[in-house]
Copies of this chain bind each other. A is one copy, B any other.
Amino acid sequence: MSTVVSFDASKRKNRSDALNELTALVQDDLHAVNEVILQRMQSPVALIPQLAGHLIAAGGKRLRPVLTLAAARLCGYDGARHRKLAACVEFIHTATLLHDDVVDDSNLRRGEPAANTLFGNKPTVLVGDFLFSRAFQLMTEDGSLDVLRILSNASAIIAEGEVLQITTTNDIRTSEQAYLEVIRAKTAELFAAACRIGAVVANRPSPEEEALRTFGLNLGLAFQMIDDVLDYSAEQARLGKSIGDDFREGKITLPVILAYNRGGEAERFFWRRTLEDLEQQDGDLEKAIDLLTKSQALKDAADRAKHYGAIARDALGLFPEHPIKSALLSVVDFTLEREY
A: residues with CB less than 8 A from B are 43-48, 95-96, 99, 102-104, 120-123, 125-130, 132-134, 136-137, 139-141, 143, 145, 148-149, 152-153, 155-156, 158-160, 162-164, 166-167
Contacts and interface: CB of A to CB of B under 8 A. Distances in A.
Taking the full assembly, how many copies of this chain does it contain? 2
Interface of A is mostly: helix
18 contacts: A44-B160, A45-B163, A45-B164, A46-B167, A47-B163, A48-B160, A95-B129, A104-B120, A121-B121, A128-B129, A130-B160, A132-B159, A136-B148, A137-B153, A137-B156, A139-B152, A143-B145, A148-B148
Given A126-B162, A132-B129, A121 B143 contact: no
Contacts of A125: 99, 102, 125, 128
Nearest to A135: B152
Contact of A155 (B96, B103, B129): B129
A311 to B, nearest CB: 24
Q: Choose among A133, A153, A162 the residue with the greatest number of B CB atoms under 10 Å from its CB.
A: A133
A103 to B, nearest CB: 6
Contacts of A167: 45-47
B156 A130 contact: yes
A99 B120 contact: no
Nearest to A120: B104
Contacts of A160: 43-45, 48, 130
A46 B160 CA distance: 10
Contacts of A153: 137
A159 B104 contact: no
Contacts of A158: 129, 133
Nearest to A151: B136
A117 B326 CA distance: 51
B45 A129 contact: no
